[in-house]
Structure 1
Amino acid sequence: MKNKLTDLNNHLFVQLERLMDDDIMKENPDLEIKRAEAVTKVADSIIKNANLSLQAYKYADEWKTGNAKVPEMLRIGAGNE
């Protein structure tokens, strides 16, 4: 898959434009709103995944420099960091 976050941003703006289009909303407003809700849920998942990837990248960088700290809830066993 070659989509980027900029593509997602473009799709979200297209959906927003559809919601603002009186002709489309007159045709079937319930369907368009359901579609927008579905797009929003998928977009939210993509954004959360991108954020997790960014956090992992930052953590890997901190690990290389020796500044990484593992949150206590993620530690395994006594004394592991």
Structure 2
Amino acid sequence: MKNKLTDLNNHLFAQLERLSDEGLSLEQIEQEAKRADAIVSISDQIMRNADLSLRACKLVADHGDRFLNHLPMLAKPE
């Protein structure tokens, strides 16, 4: 499994291509639309998580490491 934002972007464009396929039946379009809704929902959560991580990194960059004990996801592995 890949876990990069570029992979997410690729999945979103692949879904867009599937939705744009003019050869799909009505049933297939409905199925792809449901799949697209699920992908968008998960993508939104991934982007919110990435934004939160970025804001945490910015907090440390702007204010030093005094907040690190409150941000365990930024701690260095032991």
TM range (shorter): 0.7 to 0.9
Which residue matches 1:3?
Answer: 3
Which residue matches 2:16?
Answer: 16
Which residue matches 1:55?
Answer: 55
* d(CA) in 2 for partners of 1:2, 1:40: 17
Structure 2's unaligned 5+ residue stretches are 67-78
Q: Which runs of 4+ in 1 moved over 2 A?
A: none
Which residue matches 1:34?
Answer: 34
Q: CA shift at 1:34, angstroms?
A: 0.5
Q: Describe the SS at the equivalent of 1:28.
A: helix
- The number of residues matched between the two structures is 66
Alignment RMSD (CA, Å): 2.1
* d(CA) in 2 for partners of 1:2, 1:32: 22
Structure with greater proportional helix content: 2
* d(CA) in 2 for partners of 1:45, 1:33: 19
Which residue matches 1:45?
Answer: 45
Structure 1's unaligned 5+ residue stretches are 67-81
Q: Normalization by structure 1: what TM-score?
A: 0.72
* d(CA) in 2 for partners of 1:60, 1:47: 20
Aligned-residue sequence identity (percent) comes to: 52
